[in-house]
Each structure stands twice: as C-alpha cells, then as structure tokens.
Amino acid sequence: QVQLVESGGGLVQEGGSLRLSCAASGRTFSTYCMGWFRQAPGKEREFVAGISRSGDRTFYTNSVKGRFTISRDNAKNTVYLQMNSLKPEDTAVYYCAATSTSYYYIPGHFASWGQGTQVTVSS
C-alpha cells in the first residue's frame, strides 16, 4: 500500500496562490491514479481533483475548474495541486489520496490517504 505525505499548506490572502505537494513512498507510484480531497469544518469531505496514472487525463469538481491544476511527476513520486485565485471558501484540510483502479474521477475508489495539510484563505 502506498504511503502519502502532503505539504505546502498555509495561510494566504484571497486571490493568492498555493501549491500543494504529495510525496508517495514505494516504487509503484505510476500504477496509482491520484486525487486531492478537502474537508472544511462541519462539512463532508469533497473530491477536488483526480489524475490518471500517466497524467494525461484529469478531473475537477466544478467549483475549482479554471483555478486549480492537478499534475504529477512519476519520476519524483509526487502529485501536485496548484491553486490560484483562492477564495475563503477554499479553506479546508486538503488530503492526497490514491487508487489502484483506473477510476481517477470516482471518489469512492480512493483507498489510501495522507494525513492532510491545512489551507486557510483570508478575506
């Protein structure tokens, strides 16, 4: 099972940018589809973005389309989430996740999780 560690969270002003990183252990990173989820206080976990094994296909939830970009570097065992034009409603704990299936766009297939990184957007 893959181990995931997120980094890059922090406090940013509205309209600012952050890049989250998720480092994966093991030599089989390229066999996993990857995703980013987030959970705000008092709310359910939300699927934000997903990416295929090779990185040629991506999925975004509507609220982040045009602002967030998911990417991966299989040589570095790392997946990224570039977040631009941040809004206060983007404030949440962001989680990296992995699935051994090819369903990078179906949240229920993700089975391995990181510990999360806090993103706070001030107005």
Where b means 16+ CB within 10 Å and e means fewer, 67-87 reads: ebbbebeeeebbbbbebeebe
Residue 38 near residue 86 (C-beta atoms within 8 A): no
Confidence of residue 28 (pLDDT cuts 50, 70, 90): very high
At residue 2, does pLDDT exceed 80?
Answer: yes
CA-CA-CA-CA dihedral for 102, 116, 79, 46, to nearest 10: 50
pLDDT at 55: 97
Q: What is the mean pLDDT of the chain?
A: 97
Residue 94 near residue 48 (C-beta atoms within 8 A): yes
Q: 2: which 2 tokens?
A: 């893959």
Q: Measured between alpha carbons, how far is 87 from 61 in angstroms, rounded to an integer? A: 15
pLDDT per residue over 63-102, tens digit each? 999 999 999 999 999 999 999 999 999 999 999 999 999 9
pLDDT at 58: 98
Q: 66: which 2 tokens?
A: 């045009």
